[in-house]
Each structure stands twice: as C-alpha cells, then as structure tokens.
Amino acid sequence: MTTAAATPLATRLADSGPSRADPAPFVRLDARGRARLELSVKGAKCAACIAKIERGLLAVPGVEDARLNLGAQRLTVTWRGAAASAASLIDVVERLGFAATPFDPEKSQRAIDAEGRRLLWQMVVAGFGAMNVMMFSVPIWAGGELGAGTRTGFYWISALIAIPCALYAGQPFFASAWRALRKGRANMDVPISIGVLLTLAVSISETALGGAHAYFDGVVMLLFLLLIGRWLDHSLRERARTAAKDLLALQSTNATRLRSDGATERVAARDVAVGDVLLLAAGERVAVDGVVLEGASEVDRALVTGESAPVAARVGDTLHAGVVNLTRPLRLRATAMADTSLIADLARLIEAGEQRRGAHVRLADKAAALYVPIVHTLAFLTFAAWMLVPDASWRVALMNAAAVLIVTCPCALGLAAPAVQVVATGRLFKRGVLVKSGDALERLARIDTVVLDKTGTLTLGRPRLVGAVDEAALAAAAQLARVSRHPLSRALVEAAGPGAPAAQAREIPGCGVEGEIAGAPARLGRRTFVDPQSAETEGGETELWFARAGAAPVRFVFADAVRPDAAATVAALRARGLAVELLSGDRPDAVEAAARAVGIDIAAAARTPAQKIEHLEALRAQGRRVLMVGDGLNDAAALAAADASASPAAAVDATQAAADVVLQGEELGALVELIDVARSARARVLENFAFAAVYNAVAVPAAALGFVTPFFAALAMAGSSLAVTLNALRLSGRGHRGKV
Amino acid sequence: MEAMIYLIPATIFMGVVGLGAFLWTLRSGQYEDLEGAAERILIDDEADAPPLRSSRGDS
C-alpha cells in the first residue's frame, strides 16, 4: 500500500506534506515536449468545482490545458516548461480543497474498451438497419394498393439493408454461439444465431419465390434489442472492472531509500530489496514490512489491525506495510519485498475471496439455462410437426420453425436483468451509493446477515474527547495540543475550539508536548511523561494527561465516536429481518462499548484478517448470506470473502476495490436504502422473467401454428422489450424511499 | 409510384448520413463526460479568467 493510495487516511490524520509520494514518476512527456499528468480528484461535484480547479490550474504559468472529467473524477493537466511541476500542480488542486492523487501513467490510460466500443457500433448499425427496413415494412403491412411486384421490390431493398446490418451486428452472437458449439455446449446465443441466419435465409428464398412474408425487419430489430441489453450489461461490468483497475493504479508506491554513500533516493516499493535501509518521514506510510533501526515515534495501525488508538514504535519493532508513521522520522530496515509484504498477502486473500464469489450464478444466466433447451425443442418440434402435415411443404415447416425461434422473446430476456440493474444503480448513485457491478445487487438482495466492522465503519474512525472535563484545563491543554499533529492532540483541539498555541511548545516524540502556559511550564502527553512518579497505565482507555507546574495532573479520555445514525441504521436493518453483528480487530472493551451504543448483541473483538474470514466462513456454513461492511485494510479480505460487501468512502482504496459497494458521505443509513433497492431490483427482474414466460406461452403456440406474420412478430418483439424496460423504470420512481 | 425511384435512394441516403453523424459524435468523445458537460454550461465566462479550453478528442 502506498502513500498515494492513502489519501483518505492521510487527510484524516495528518496534513499531506511528506505523506505524499513524489508525483514526478507519474508525469508523461509527449512528442511536442509537453508534460502531462493524470490525477484522480476526489470531491468535485459541480460546475463551480470544475471552474475552480480548471481556472486555478490554468492560472499557473506554463499550464496549457486542464480538463476535469466529472464522471470519472479524473483531471488531466498539460504544461510546458519548468515553471510548473507535478508536485506544485497537485498543491494547487489541494489548496483549492480537493484531494488529488497521481495516476500511474501506464495503468491510468483509460483501457480502450474495445469490446464495449464494438458492441456500441453494432448496436447503432442494427438500430439504423431496423429503422430503415421498417420504412419499407410499414407500407407492406398496411397493404392497400401495393401490388405483388412492388412488395417484392420492397423486400429486395429491405434485404439489401438488412443482410449487411445483420451480418455485422450479429457477430457477437455468432462468435459466442460458435465458441459454445465447439465446446459441445449450447448457450443463449445458439438459438439466437440459428434464428437470425435461418430467418434471413428463409426470407431471401421467400422473396425470390415472390412469397407474401419476409422477416427482414424482425431480424434486424431482434438484433437491435438484443444488443441494447448486451451493451447495458457490458457497461455495468466494465464500470466494475475500471473501478478495480483505477485503484490498482493508485497503489504505485514510493519509498525513500538510504544509499550506502549516505544519499537518499526515491524508489518504487517493488524495487526495495530485503535489507535496504528506508527513511520514513512523519505522516508517511510504510511501503514494505520492516524493522525500526533508529528513532522513536507513534504509528497508526488502524488500517492494518483496526486498532483506533496510536501505538508506540521503538527500535526493534516490526512495522507492516500500510502503517502510518505519526510523529517522528524513523529509519527502517526492509524485511520483506513489496510482493511478500502483509499488504500483498491481503491482496492474495482478496483475490481468493473474489474467485469464490465468482461462483454466484446470475439470474439472467439461470433463465438462459432454462430457455435454450426449451426453445430448441419447440422449434424442432414445430418443424417436424409441419413436415407431417400432408399438404404443407418443407418451406412452410421451415418458415414456422424460424418464426418460433425469432418470436420466443430472447430480447425481453436479454433486457430483463440489465435494464433493472442500470436503473437501480443509477438511483443509488444519486443517493451517494456507488454500486460497482450488477450482480452485486443480486447478491445483496438475498442477504440475511450484516456484519459490521467497528473502526471507521460503525464509528467515524477518529478519536473524540469523551467524559466530563474541566473547561479551564481543556483550554490550557489545547494550547499545547495546537502545536502537535498527533490524532489525540487534534481531537483535543477540536473539543476546545479555536485559540492560540502555547509559547515555546515543542513535541517530544513518543512522550507528548512541553511548553509554557502563562509563564509556567506545562506538559501534555503520556502519564509517565506528565507525571514522572506515576506508573504507566496499561491497556484500558485511550488517554492524555496534562499538568501545569504546581497543579495536579488532569486526565482526558478519548473514544472513537459512533456515527450519528449508526443506532438507527442497525434498528432499520433489524426491522428488515436482517441479523446484525459486529466484527472488529480492536480491543474487546472498545468493541463492546460500541456494540452497546448502537444496540448490537453479537460482537467479536480482536480478530485478525484471517480470523475475520473464518468468522464469515462459519456464518456461511450455517447457510447464512452475509453482507460485510468495513473500511480497513484488515477488512479487505473479509469483504472479498463475504457474499456481498460495502465500504464507506473514507476507506482505503484497496478496501474499496474489494467492496461491491462504496457508500459516500458520513451516513450509514445508505445501507438500508441499498438493501431496499437491491430487494426491489430482484423483484423487478423476476417480474420481467415472469412476463417473458407468459408472453412466450402465448407467442410460441401462435408461431408454431403459423399465425405469426412479420407484422405480429415485430409488434410482439418491440412490445415485450418495451414492457420489460418500463417495468425496470418503475424502480427509479417515488415510493421506494429508504426509511431509517 | 415513379416518385419512389427518387424517394427510396433519398431516404436511404439520409439514413446513412444520420448514422455517419452519430458515429462521428461517438468517435470524437462527446459521450466521455456527460455529467461534466451538463454542469459546464453553468460556468460563467469571466473576462479576467483564463479561458477554459477543451481537450476533447485529445485523449
């Protein structure tokens, strides 16, 4: 894990400054000597943000172009000359109030989504074909004065448009059907391909023989409607894939290595060898696992262990990658390479979990598995039955078999799930819930247990002053605290409000702050530092001590604040029949206090990432379907192992990558809405399938008996697709507001 | 009915032009940032502010 990926935490804990990786390696130079940098920008939401960022950057001398892509939250800056540097430009954006993180140039290049682009083109061409063929079909359906010669002429023109369109737009279906057939299997695309090709062939021969019916319009429209469904589905999956890829790109990490000649150099984490000596500035994140050689500091292990209180780091202590150094520079000796570090282990656990999750069979695929054999059998039976009818020719038999294939409504089936998922994710997105994939919604709909992490999920993830305090002591202590960046000092300052810092205050790493208040010496920090005669308090609450010369020491107690709507959310989840549990890596007393505060009965504390997975496995063994909500790196693997997962927006990027859903904003209540929407989305999808089944029950016998004219086929096809889409749109409407 | 001899090619030609126009908008990246485009219209032009340039099609 990298300093770059740490932005949310870094902004939470400490000012950026040294916490950021040197962005210079992210700059690309183009042929005309212009430098180009891509940044991921968090927090830009509106026109004012665009104008602020772009104008702010364009005002920097040398900057030629700045363009913010609001949808992708991606900023591209191009500049020339030495007046601007990557670091100075990032500073400009951050001073404007937006977190900006450089992207790895190789990985950031928007994957040219060749497949998506091809699908889109095919869809557009099919749409064009459908509309233009329809121009010639409508007069034929209308009948009237149209002679047989004109009709045949119109059919030939239709064929001229429909055949190239169908052969081009049908490629994804033909290719997929061919792949399946070669492996001896049949998928949804087999009947579609056979239907398209057979119907085209029958239509051509009918036209050549001067027959009354040809299905050119139906073929192209079928492809158009199918491609809409395919394209929607592909876009949803692609979005999930890009989200994961973006986060990977963010993980490119740097470390400062001390060379044998005493000079320092910035190197990528993957180039750090075991035994290298690394410098770790205050606020910086450990890039690879290492042992402290020199220095004393305090570190934040929240992302690795879930522990919310800072921990002392002394010579000989092991620091895992992902730990943030808080107060003083440290010198480390690397004990692992980047790919054997704890982070890499977690990444492997995540991958393993995701593979298991791949076992989820999507509703649409289940429907297809039923559909394929039935349609094949029906079409074959139709053909066979008509061959047995004495005065029917093989032409009629083939025509009716083709009609069965084309009218069995694979388009409504193809649209049923993606249309609903697009509407559902769009609706959730407006409420600040980012759903990364369509099947996540399907998995979420069937959840019966919610497992919450404590630090950063149920709580805000930062300490807050609790208990009764003496206002005068607080105001005095805050003067000392203002010179420190320690999380506890910041919490103290937050509680005391604005004021002046103490004179001549200095921070002593691992101990506290010392200075003068109204001329008298004062100290703020650990108990042993403030009052040397006392014994160190072991375990228990997170505390700070404060003493002025001649006065008794005062104790301040801190606790991680529970999110304001946590209790209401837990109650709302229960009301929906879900079991709620707490699973944390933090100390048992802290976990129990949080569980009591929000009304959760089942709480497990002090769990390592592997134990968290075991816990989830145990739940699954009982047949429960689990939604895991967590934010720390220690949760990432558990998130991947659960049936479905969510993480708050303040989570580390690796964790967000492992989660299906990212909740923006400070509120946990979005979880309730998420479950509601997922459940109604599932209901809509099932309704759509039911509708398709009923439709087929009517259409197939009609087609088999030869009653389906091209007009009826076109009407039924468009009508059923429209009905399915309208049903999906019901999700976006009123009356589904989540209640918390 | 003779009119159809002109009308049919004309309609097909217009259809092809429409298709071409749409594919052009697609290629030139006009759908890359729909959200941003909707918001950008609200940005006022300020006389003293540097102009906002577009890098459309550049990427």
CB contact under 8 Å between A71 and B33, yes or no, is: yes
Spell out where A389-511 has E strands: 433-435, 449-452, 459-466, 503-508
Confidence of residue A204 (pLDDT cuts 50, 70, 90): very high
The per-residue pLDDT for A344 is 64
Q: Which residue of B has its CA nearest to A160?
A: B12
Q: CB B50 to CB A161 under 8 A?
A: no
Residues of B in contact with A54 (CB under 8 A): 52
Q: How many CA atoms lie within 13 A of A379 on its CB side?
A: 23
Torsion-angle region of A385 (φ positive above 0: left; ψ -120 to 50: alpha; else: beta): alpha
Instruction: Assess whether pLDDT exceeds 90 at residue A586.
Output: no
**Residue with the two structure tokens 């959760």:** A600
Q: Could you tell me the pLDDT band of residue B49, with boundaries at 50, 70 and 90?
A: low
- For residue A58 the two structure tokens come to 């364009």
Q: Calculate what percentage of chain A has a pLDDT beyond 90.
A: 4
**Nearest-by-CA chain B residue for A157:** B8
Residue A313 has pLDDT above 60, yes or no: yes
Q: Please report the pLDDT score of residue B51 as a whole number.
A: 54
How confident is the model over A519-566, as pLDDT tens digits? 788 888 888 788 777 766 655 667 888 888 777 888 888 877 788 888
The pLDDT of residue A10 is 32
pLDDT of residue A461: 72
Q: Is A673 left (phi over 0), alpha (psi -120 to 50) or beta?
A: alpha
* Interface A-B: count of C-beta contacts within 8 A: 69
Whether the pLDDT of residue A119 is over 50: the answer is yes
Domain of A58, CATH number, reads 3.30.70.100
Each residue of A139-149: pLDDT tens digit?
888 876 778 88
Token pair for A157:
């023109």
Tell me how close the Cα of B59 comes to any Cα of chain A, in angstroms. 9
Whether the pLDDT of residue A9 is over 50: the answer is no
pLDDT value of position A733: 62
d(CA A725, CA A733): 13
User: Whole-angstrom distance between the N-terminal and C-terminal Cα of chain A?
Assistant: 36
Number of domains in chain A: 2
For chain B, give the longest Cα–Cα distance.
Answer: 63
Per-residue pLDDT for A389 more than 90?
Answer: no
Domain holding A451, by residue range, is 431-460+563-679
| Alpha-carbon gap: A48 to the closest alpha carbon of chain B (Å) | 7
The answer to whether residue A11 sits within a structural domain is: yes
C-alpha distances (whole Å) from A325 to each of A99, A296, B10, B47 are 20, 10, 72, 47
B55/A72 CB distance under 8 A: no
Integer-rounded Cα Rg, in Å, for chain A is 32
Report the relative pairing of strands A459-466 and A297-300 from DSSP bridges.
unpaired
Percent of chain A scoring above 70 in pLDDT: 84
Strand, helix or coil for residue A78:
strand
Tokens of A264: 């320092």
| Average pLDDT score over chain A | 78
Cβ distance A718 to A414 under 8 Å? no
pLDDT at A247: 52
Tell me which of B52, B54, B56 to substitute to probe the interface with A (most A C-beta atoms closer than 10 Å).
B52
Q: Do A70 and B18 touch (CB under 8 A)?
A: no
Q: How far apart are CA A141 and CA A161, in angstroms?
A: 18
Q: What distance in Å separates the CA atoms of residue A20 and residue A4, rounded to the nearest whole number?
A: 6
CB A432 within 8 A of CB A670: yes
Task: Please name the residues in contact with A91: beta carbons below 8 A apart, sequence gap of 6 or more.
Answer: none
The Cβ of residue B35 has, within 10 Å, a number of other Cβ atoms equal to: 14
The residue type found at A345 is D
Residue-level pLDDT at A443: 87
Q: Is the pLDDT of residue A109 over 50?
A: no
Mean pLDDT (chain B) is 75
**Which 2-41 residues of chain B touch chain A by CB within 8 A?**
8, 11-12, 15-16, 18-19, 22-23, 26, 32-36, 39-41
Token digits of residue A608: 């390592």
Whether the predicted pLDDT of A252 surpasses 70: no
Q: Do the chains contact at A47 and B32, CB–CB below 8 Å?
A: no
Q: Measure the CA–CA gap between A422 and A705, rounded to whole angstroms.
A: 37
CA dihedral A506, A558, A647, A575 (to 10 degrees): -170
pLDDT at A164: 93
Q: Is residue A21 part of a domain?
A: yes
- Express each pLDDT in A146-163 by its tens digit: 788 888 888 999 999 999
pLDDT over 60 (residue A6)? no
Tell whether A448 is covered by a domain: yes
Model pLDDT for residues A270-282, shown as the tens digit of each residue: 678 888 888 887 7
Which amino acid, one-letter code, is at A9?
L
Residues 6+ apart with CB under 8 A from A244: A436, A657
Element (H, E) at A7: helix A7-13
Boundary-marking domain end, from A51, A74, A109: A109
Q: Do residue A59 and residue B43 have CB atoms under 8 angstroms apart?
A: no
Task: Encode A639-660: b = buried (16+ Cβ within 10 Å), e = exposed.
Answer: bbbbbbbbbbebbbbbbbbbbb
Give the catalytic positions of A in this structure.
453
Q: Is residue A571 part of a domain?
A: yes
Task: Please give the residue that has the higher pLDDT: either A75 or A262.
Answer: A75
Higher pLDDT: A564 or A626? It is A626
The answer to whether A419 and A725 are in contact (CB under 8 A) is: yes
Pairing of strands A330-334, A277-280: antiparallel
d(CA A351, CA A657) in angstroms, rounded, equals 11
The tens digit of pLDDT for each residue in A688-698 reads: 888 888 888 88
Token pair 């087999």 is found at: A190
CB A525 within 8 A of CB A555: no
Q: Which of A187-201, A499-513, A650-664 has the highest mean pLDDT?
A: A187-201
Q: In this structure, is residue A573 part of a structural domain?
A: yes
What's the confidence (pLDDT) of residue A305?
65
Q: Is residue A537 part of a domain?
A: no
Q: Report the gap between the CA of A54 and the closest CA in chain B (Å).
A: 7
- The answer to whether B15 and A132 are in contact (CB under 8 A) is yes
A232, A174 Cβ separation under 8 angstroms: no
- Quickly tell me which residue has 């036209």 as its tokens: A207
For A478-491, what is each residue's pLDDT tens digit? 888 887 767 788 78
Contacts of A75 (CB under 8 A, 6+ apart): A38, A39, A40, A41, A53, A66, A67, A68, A69, A93, A100
Residue A441 CB partners (closer than 8 Å, separation 6+)? A421, A424, A425, A435, A677, A678, A681, A682
With left for phi above 0 and alpha for psi between -120 and 50, is residue A362 left, alpha or beta?
beta
Task: Give the residue on A whose Cα is nearest the Cα of B51.
Answer: A55
Domain C-terminal end among A679, A712, A734: A679
CB A50 within 8 A of CB A30: no
Contacts of B21 in chain A (CB under 8 A): none
Q: What is the pLDDT of residue A696?
A: 81
Pairing of strands A661-663, A433-435: antiparallel
Please give the pLDDT value at position A539. 58
Per-residue pLDDT reduced to its tens digit, A420-479: 888 888 888 777 788 877 678 888 888 899 988 887 788 877 778 877 777 888 888 888
pLDDT at A165: 93
Beta-carbon contacts of residue A360 (< 8 Å; ≥ 6 apart): A439, A442, A443, A643
> SS3 of A331, please?
strand
* Residues sharing a CB contact under 8 Å with residue A485, sequence separation 6 or more, in sequence order: A14, A15, A282, A283, A326, A327
Task: Say yes or no to pLDDT of A189 above 90.
Answer: no
DSSP state of A73: T
Among residues A57, A78, A109, which one ends one of the domains? A109
Q: Which amino acid is at A154?
A: F
Question: Among the listed ranges A239-243, A329-333, A586-590, A596-600, which one has the minimum average pLDDT value?
Answer: A239-243
Closest C-alpha to A266, from A274, A276, A275:
A276
Is residue A22 domain-resident? yes
The pLDDT value given to residue A37: 84
Q: Please give the pLDDT value at position A167.
A: 93
Q: Is the pLDDT of residue A572 over 80?
A: yes
Flag if A65 and B32 touch (Cβ within 8 Å): no
- Best residue of A37, A50, A77, A160 to probe chain B, by most B CBs closer than 10 Å: A50
Interface of A with B (CB under 8 A): 46-47, 50-51, 54-55, 58-59, 64-65, 67-72, 76, 78, 110, 120-121, 124-125, 128, 131-132, 135, 150, 157, 161
Query: SS3 for A169?
Result: helix
User: What residues of B are in contact with residue A69 (Cβ under 8 Å)?
Assistant: 32-33, 36
**Nearest Cα residue to A219 out of A203, A231, A208, A206:** A203
CATH (domain of A674):
3.40.50.1000
Task: Find tokens 């001329």 and name the residue.
Answer: A519
Q: Point out the residue among B1, B12, B35 whose CB comes nearest to the CB of A71.
A: B35
**What pLDDT does residue A723 have?**
87
Question: What is the residue type of A86?
Answer: A
CA atoms A469, A473, A477, A482: torsion sign:
positive
Q: What is the pLDDT of residue A226?
A: 87
Asked if residue A445 belongs to a domain, the reply is yes
